[in-house]
Amino acid sequence: MKKLKLFETESTSSRRSFLRNAGAMAFAAPALSWLSQPAFAENSLQGGKPLGIALVGLGYYSTHQLAPALQKTKFCKLTGAVTGTPAKAAEWEKKFNLPKKNIYDYKTYDRIADNPDIDVVYVVLPNAMHAEYTIRALEAGKHVICEKPMAVSVKECQQMIDAAKKANKQLAIGYRLHSTPQHQEVMRFAREKTFGAIKVVETSDGFRIGDPSQWRLKKSLAGGGSMMDIGIYALNASRYVTGEEPVSVFAQEFKTDPVKFKEVDETILWQLKFPSGAVATSTSTYAAGVERLYATCENGWYEMGPCYGYGPIKFRTSKGEVNLPQLTHQAAQMDDFAQSVMSNKPSIVPGEEGLKDLKVIEAIYKSIETGKVVTIS
Ligand code: NAD
C-alpha cells in the first residue's frame, strides 16, 4: 500500500452534494432504522452507552453530513476526530465538546488504540487513502466504517477484509442508501419478486463537477473519476435491484473536456448481464446532474429519482406513489452499524459488499481499455 502525503485542505468538490440536497435536507426526518429490529427500540445494550465514533478527515462530508447526523443517532456519539489542521482541531473540540486527548493528527493516529472513548473509526478521506487508514484503525483494535468507494482496487479491499478478520473487528462501507426504507423496499422487490422477474434495469448518477484542482480529478488520490465517486451508486443499485451479481460487462468512456479529465474518467456508460437474464444499463458522469433508478419486470415497473442524494427520495411503481419515511441517511446508517457491533451481528454493508463493486469497476475499466465484453468471475 502506497503511503500518501497528508494535508488538510478545504475541498470545494463535494459542495455539489450539499447544493444538490440542500433544499431536501430540511425535510429529512430523524432516523427510525430500528423499526425492523424491535429489540433495539431502546438502547439497552452496553448499559445504554452509545458507541464512540471518531471521524477521520474533517472535510465536506464529515463536517456537513456526518457530524450533524451523529447528533441525531440513538446508538452513536461523536467522541473523537483526526485532522492534520490544528485550526480544525480547535474548532471541533469547542463545537462538539471533544476532550483534547480524543483529537489526533495523522502522526498520532495509531495511538487511538489506547483510547477507550473511541469504539469506531470512520474513514472519510480521499479514496486512495481508505485502505491504509482502515487497516491501521483495525490494527488499533477499532471497528471501522469506511466511505465509498471502499478502496481503489480489489486487492486493497481484500487486504482490508483480511485485516478486519485478523483483528476480529467489524468493517462496514458507507453505503448509506442501504439504511433507507426506499432502497430497502427495492431490495425486497428483488427478493420476493413482487413485480415478477426483473428484466431491464436502468441506473444513472451524475453531477457537474467544479474546481479542476480537487483530489477527485487526481488519479493518485481518487483511483478513478466519476465511476469511483458516484457511478458506484448506480452500480451498487443495479446489483441490489436485481439481487444478483453480474456475469459480464461492456463499457464505453466519453470525455468532453480532455484537459480537466486528463487523469480520470468524466463519463462512462456500461451494460451488465445478470445470471437470470436480467440486464442493466447505467451511466456515471461528472458532466451533468442525473439521479435515476428504474426497473421493469414481468408484471410492472418501479422507479426512483432523485434517489442517490441525501433525500427526499421520490419513489413510484406501476401501482402508484410509494410514500415511506424520509430519513437522515447517515444517522440511520451509523445506527444500523452500531446495532451490528453491539449485537455482534454482521453489518448490512460489510467489506465484502464494497469489494463486489470494485470487482465490477475493475471489469468496467478493463472493458474500456480493451473495447471488449469482460467476464466477471
Ligand atoms: P473533502 O475533500 O471535502 O475532504 C477530504 C478530507 O481529507 C479533507 O479534510 C482533507 O483535508 C483530508 N485529506 C487528508 N489528506 C489529504 C490529501 N493527501 N489530499 C486531499 N485531502 C486530504 O472530501 P469529501 O467530500 O469529504 O470526501 C471524503 C470521502 O467521503 C470520499 O471517499 C468520498 O467518496 C466520501 N463521500 C461519501 C459521501 C456519501 O454520501 N457517502 C458523500 C461525500 C463524500
Reduce the DSSP state of residue 78 to 3 states and report it: strand
Average pLDDT, the chain: 90
Instruction: Report CA dihedral (233, 237, 240, 245) to the nearest 10 degrees.
Output: -80
Atom number of ligand 1 nearest to Cα 61: 26
Residue 5 CB–ligand 1 contact under 6 Å: yes
Task: Give yes or no for residue 17 CB within 6 A of ligand 1.
Answer: yes
pLDDT tens readout for residues 289-306? 999 999 999 999 999 999
Pocket test for ligand 1, best of 61, 157, 226 (most atoms within 8 A of CB): 61
Q: How confident is the model at residue 33 (pLDDT cuts 50, 70, 90)?
A: very low
C-alpha 182: how far from its chain's center?
16
Closest CA to 31 of 67, 71, 80: 71
- Please indicate whether residue 121, judged by its CB atom, sits closer than 6 Å to ligand 1: no
Decide if 241 contacts 201 (C-beta within 8 A).
yes
Q: Are 206 and 331 in contact (CB under 8 A)?
A: no
- Evaluate: CB of 224 within 6 angstroms of ligand 1: no
Instruction: State residue 30's pLDDT score.
Output: 30
- The owner of cell 464505453 is 252
Enumerate residues 6+ apart whose C-beta is below 8 A from 124.
55, 56, 57, 58, 59, 61, 62, 66, 147, 174
- Determine if the pTM surpasses 0.85: yes
CA distance 307 to 234: 10
Residue 270's φ and ψ, nearest 5 degrees, are -145, 155
pLDDT confidence of residue 6 = 37
Pairing of strands 198-206, 290-297: antiparallel
> What spacing in Å lies between the alpha carbon of 56 and ligand 1's midpoint?
9
Ligand 1 contacts CB of residue 154 (under 6 A):
no
Write down the pLDDT at residue 45. Answer: 56
370 CA to middle of ligand 1, Å? 31
**Encoded amino acid at 229, one letter:** D
Any atom of ligand 1 within 6 Å of the Cβ of 221: yes
Q: Kindly tell me if the per-residue pLDDT of 48 is higher than 90.
A: no
38 versus 204: which is more confidently predicted?
A: 204
Judge whether 241 and 186 are in contact, CB under 8 Å: yes
Residue 87, pLDDT score = 98
Distance in Å, CA 127 to ligand 1 centroid: 8
Decide: 354 in ligand 1 pocket, CB within 6 A: no
Tell me if 198 sits within 8 A of 170, measured CB to CB: no
Among 125, 136, 160, 334, which residue has the most ligand 1 atoms within 8 Å of its CB, making it the best to mutate? 125
> Strands of 290-297's sheet, edge to edge?
320-321, 315-317, 300-304, 290-297, 198-206, 279-285, 267-273, 248-254, 374-375
Average pLDDT for 9-16: 33
CATH of 181-324+351-375 among 3.30.70.270, 3.30.540.10, 3.40.50.720, 3.30.360.10: 3.30.360.10
Active site amino acids: 148, 233
pLDDT at 257 over 80: yes
From the alpha carbon of 175, which atom of ligand 1 is closest? 41
Lowest mean pLDDT among 39-43, 84-88, 225-229, 343-347: 39-43
- Helix, strand or coil, per DSSP, at residue 349: coil
Q: How far does residue 143's CA lie from ligand 1's centre (Å)?
A: 20
Residue nearest to atom 2 of ligand 1 (CA): 11
Q: For ligand 1, is residue 133 a contact (CB within 6 Å)? A: no
CATH code for the domain defined by 37-176: 3.40.50.720
Is the CB of 61 within 6 Å of ligand 1?
A: yes
Spans of all domains in the chain: 37-176, 181-324+351-375
pLDDT band at 15 (very low <50, low <70, confident <90, very high): very low
Question: In a mutational test of the pocket of ligand 1, which residue from 21, 147, 178, 327 has the highest number of ligand atoms less than 8 Å from its CB?
Answer: 147
Section 184-195 average pLDDT: 98
> Could you report the per-residue pLDDT of 135-151, keeping only the tens digit for each?
999 999 999 999 999 99
3-state helix, strand, coil in the chain (%, to 5): 40, 20, 40
Q: Specify the ligand 1 atom closest to the Cα of 176.
A: 41
Say if ligand 1 is within 6 A of residue 11 CB: yes
